[in-house]
Chains A and B, each alone.
Chain A
């Protein structure tokens, strides 16, 4: 039996592997061999374009491509593979009930892919696959036909701004670095993606590491650097592995090293593993960490472009920023500038997560409305509950309330709303989420991650967290909200680096939009029934079947009752662990 042009793509990013991608890939190899079919079985990043297109919540996603007809399957397990091979690959009848549905198509319709355009369609571990989609052509073009100044002009004209958070114009940064009169300059790729709820950089490196490397080569050429570093989180083992392989393949193919592609340009890249400190995402802290010191930021100016790694001019660009570069060089600055808004050009990758139906990685033109992201791409809220807010920008960002869902998503609009594009995390919160608890969650994070160098951040975040903690425990005092607001403003104004300056944002934005929730806590109620100390558990007699499940689950012995008769929770003994609520099959346990 001969099958012409059959390609199987299995999603193998972190999400795909967690869902059993390795087993599925093996099953395909085995089944195809048994059936005597020659097919091309490929690994693909779980996140992106063709392979999974970002919808890792539906992993393992599998593409079966026969000729030019592509079918995508969702939730595939290895034991489903024999049927797909038999019915689809051999008999040419796709297995309809396992195919992706309309929500999968809707997820992609409003997206526009630049950075992610090759992610997922190519094997990230195969350099020839990247070269096959015009990879490294931009680097060749730059090194053989453009002057460094031309490259900088092109990037400036494209309007590309840093995708790591603050949105500083990339071309302008390169221009300053290019003008520095120094024999030694450095280019650093910041892959220390520490924001909880963000995974764009991980996905780009797992899905298309060569685009990042190519972007670095072009940047280094433009500013005149011969050494580069990728500072990447050790928490991303798969991304590190793929990056290292990509670097060694690029070296073998003559894209890195001495006299690249026969020119006089030398450049090589080293990988530096982060050791688990969020503050190292900050430029000067990152530099200290590469130098082998405690990763503590220092005052700016001087900025790293003047005085950076080992005192030399250093450009630090984010992963996504660098991955944009080859596409801008290949397609032109006008092409790139034609997407997005006037001040925020191009596209942005977001990690859409939380209480959303289609959770995953998305790339959208700047200026799209939040509503389109949540309801069209994201497919709406899980369980069709009501949207409460969208948290953007991680621990330095804020919460956009549901009432503002029509707003445009770009650098300026988000800042105006009291939030931040940040690195691109977008966590959707529904009516069951408590906003005070969310603010406390972020303060726990920033307080623990504060490096302790400057007082406003070290002591300020601690005090802010203490106030939030007492509010969520029902011990809030009159005047606490005003105190939170005042202290927040002080910490913002006086902290040394972005961590402290952004840390109060989750508090300020939730007080601004959800003041009533704070007030309810001060009165001893948690309207969303999240804050443990403010809850009371009781049994709804009309639903209780007297099965005894709660009685057995209660670790405190607070529940009494005879078999087949309604049970009772003694609130004096109850430790509010929620065990009874979890085990009750009849929804007879209520918390308020």
Chain B
């Protein structure tokens, strides 16, 4: 971990970045912002950790817990809303056994998250599975894909 953090630090100093770009680099490298990583930078840069957390908690892009291997992002924009995104999300929660306040499955296979709008409204409702945009989704299509992702994992074992 230390090596990656050093690399981010070098890049940060070189490009005269700011706290946000630094946090974005940490998030990109680890998938979330761990306390250890923040404390490491806090010491190196002599910036209080509270400032990092103050900025990070303001922006929805940052996560503070590790996320699942597969990230499913449900668009909740207006067009997706009127075309039934809520039902898709409820279906996904049921399939992944997630309660209302959970977003990652216990086996760390799936994370389900919402996004305000990905701007692909003319193919609403939109679900993004591992960065691949899926337009005009239906519950059936979606559940099939989730099942095949689960299947992949079983084969891998």
- A354-B79, A433-B82 known; A198-B119 Cβ under 8 A: yes
In the complex, are the beta carbons of B120 and A14 less than 8 A apart?
Answer: yes
Interfacial chain B residues near A18, Cβ < 8 Å: 120, 123, 126, 132-135
Q: How far is the CA of A270 from the CA of B17 in the complex (A)?
A: 11
A532 (CB) vs chain B CBs: closest residue: B86
Q: How far is the CA of A55 from the CA of B122 in the complex (A)?
A: 8
In the complex, are the beta carbons of A278 and B119 less than 8 A apart?
Answer: no
Which residues of chain A from 190 to 232 have a CB within 8 Å of any chain B CB? 193-199, 202-203
Cβ contacts A559-592/B at 8 Å (1 or 0 each): 0000000000000000001100010000000000
A47 to chain B, nearest CB (A): 9
In the complex, are the beta carbons of A235 and B115 less than 8 A apart?
Answer: yes
Interfacial chain B residues near A274, Cβ < 8 Å: 61
Interfacial chain A residues near B117, Cβ < 8 Å: 194-199, 235
Interfacial chain A residues near B8, Cβ < 8 Å: none
In the complex, are the beta carbons of B122 and A359 less than 8 A apart?
Answer: yes
Interfacial chain B residues near A14, Cβ < 8 Å: 118-120, 133
Q: How far is the CA of A293 from the CA of B76 in the complex (A)?
A: 27
B124 (CB) vs chain A CBs: closest residue: A353
B54 (CB) vs chain A CBs: closest residue: A294
Interfacial chain B residues near A555, Cβ < 8 Å: 94
Interfacial chain A residues near B122, Cβ < 8 Å: 15, 55-57, 199, 351-353, 359-361
B127 to chain A, nearest CB (A): 10
A237 interface residue (CB < 8 Å to B): yes
B121 interface residue (CB < 8 Å to A): yes
Interfacial chain A residues near B126, Cβ < 8 Å: 18
A380 to chain B, nearest CB (A): 16
- A17-B133, A18-B120, A236-B119 known; A353-B79 Cβ under 8 A: yes
Interfacial chain A residues near B82, Cβ < 8 Å: 354-355, 427, 429, 433, 438
B90 interface residue (CB < 8 Å to A): yes
Interfacial chain A residues near B132, Cβ < 8 Å: 18
What is the number of residues of chain B that contact chain A, defined by CB distance less than 8 Å? 41
A495 interface residue (CB < 8 Å to B): no
Q: How far is the CA of A555 from the CA of B123 in the complex (A)?
A: 30
- A15-B135, A18-B134, A391-B78 known; A577-B90 Cβ under 8 A: yes
Q: How far is the CA of A577 from the CA of B86 in the complex (A)?
A: 11
Interfacial chain B residues near A193, Cβ < 8 Å: 119
B27 (CB) vs chain A CBs: closest residue: A275
B32 interface residue (CB < 8 Å to A): no
A417 interface residue (CB < 8 Å to B): no
B58 to chain A, nearest CB (A): 4
Q: Which of A292, A295, A433, A438 has the most CB of B within 10 A?
A: A292
In the complex, are the beta carbons of B116 and A354 less than 8 A apart?
Answer: no
A530 (CB) vs chain B CBs: closest residue: B82
A514 interface residue (CB < 8 Å to B): no
Q: How far is the CA of A208 from the CA of B87 in the complex (A)?
A: 36
Q: How far is the CA of A18 from the CA of B83 in the complex (A)?
A: 17
Q: How far is the CA of A530 from the CA of B130 in the complex (A)?
A: 31
In the complex, are the beta carbons of B59 and A295 less than 8 A apart?
Answer: yes
In the complex, are the beta carbons of B118 and A235 less than 8 A apart?
Answer: yes
A284 to chain B, nearest CB (A): 15
A234 interface residue (CB < 8 Å to B): yes
Q: Which of B55, B81, B119, B126 has the most CB of A within 10 A?
A: B119
Interfacial chain A residues near B78, Cβ < 8 Å: 196-197, 353-354, 391, 394, 425, 427, 441-442
In the complex, are the beta carbons of A276 and B59 less than 8 A apart?
Answer: yes
A282 interface residue (CB < 8 Å to B): no
Q: How far is the CA of A314 from the CA of B1 in the complex (A)?
A: 40
In the complex, are the beta carbons of B55 and A294 less than 8 A apart?
Answer: yes
In the complex, are the beta carbons of A292 and B131 less than 8 A apart?
Answer: no
Q: Which of B18-26, B35-43, B95-103, B142-150 contacts A (4 or more CB under 8 A)?
A: B18-26
Interfacial chain B residues near A351, Cβ < 8 Å: 119, 121-122
Q: How far is the CA of A54 from the CA of B154 in the complex (A)?
A: 42
Q: How far is the CA of A449 from the CA of B118 in the complex (A)?
A: 16
With beta carbons under 8 angstroms apart, the residue of B18, B81, B133 that contacts A441 is: B81
Give me 6 A-to-B residue pairs in the complex whose CB atoms sit less than 8 angstroms apart, sorted by A's number.
A18-B120, A18-B123, A236-B119, A292-B17, A293-B19, A433-B82
* Interface residues, chain A, with chain B CB atoms under 8 Å away: 14-15, 17-19, 55-57, 59, 193-199, 202-203, 234-237, 272-278, 289-296, 351-355, 359-361, 391, 394, 425, 427, 429, 433, 438, 441-442, 445, 449, 451, 555, 577-578, 582
